[in-house]
Amino acid sequence: MKFVLATRNSHKAIELKRILEELELDCELLTVSDFPGAPEVEETEDTFEGNALLKARALANFTGLAAIADDSGICVDALDGNPGVLSARWSGATENIDRANLELVLEQIKGVPPEHRGAKFVCAAVAVFPQGKELVAVGEMFGNLLDAPTGENGFGYDPIFVPTGFTKTTAEMSASEKDSISHRGLALKDLALKIKG
């Protein structure tokens, strides 16, 4: 079976491939870059699940193959659950986007005491098949935010996020360590089980 991953984010594509390969799904994984002319899908839904389904449906329709997509983000308690589905576009920046988003969140929680810096990463992972079948899985990782970035691994908000029960950020963890606890790892593990049926 062939699946196409509905993402143009190279960091995310690497992570999705790595996690799915470890789950031993018996399939070939392709990416959007294998399909020139694939549609750019605007994330217009107000839920992670809704945006993931938009992307997967469009790609399944375009390629005729089963598509796997995810939408994920960080929900910060002190920001009333924001940036949420706007995590990748929070700052409105067009260059150095990850850094600009992270710096804006740090600025917005400046002065918030450590005990009120709770946050969670959420991921909705979906598989959409050409014949119309759709599978949805959701993963969450809870933790707290630091007041300055630490660590070189990961991407996005990883350098300021310390998962509950840990003393280092997800940007300080190895890929396998992060995958075993991350929102994306949990969602994809559940999705893989549903695909295997």
Task: Enumerate the β-bridge partners of residue 135.
Answer: 127
Catalytically active residues are 71
Instruction: Note whether 172 and 1 are within 8 A (CB).
Output: no
Confidence of residue 39 (pLDDT cuts 50, 70, 90): very high
Tell me what the mean pLDDT of segment 71-75 comes to.
96
Tell me what the mean pLDDT of segment 7-18 comes to.
79
Which of 101, 91, 88 lies closest to 51, judged by CA? 88
- Would you state the pLDDT for residue 10? 78
Domain positions in the chain are: 2-196
Q: Global pTM?
A: 0.92
Over residues 140-186, the pLDDT tens digits come to 999 999 999 999 988 899 999 999 999 999 999 998 899 899 999 99
Distance CA 72, CA 40 (A): 17
Instruction: Report domain 2-196's class.
Output: alpha beta
Over residues 122-144, the pLDDT tens digits come to 999 999 999 989 999 999 999 99
Distance CA 143, CA 118 (A): 6
**How confident is the prediction for the chain on average, in pLDDT?**
93
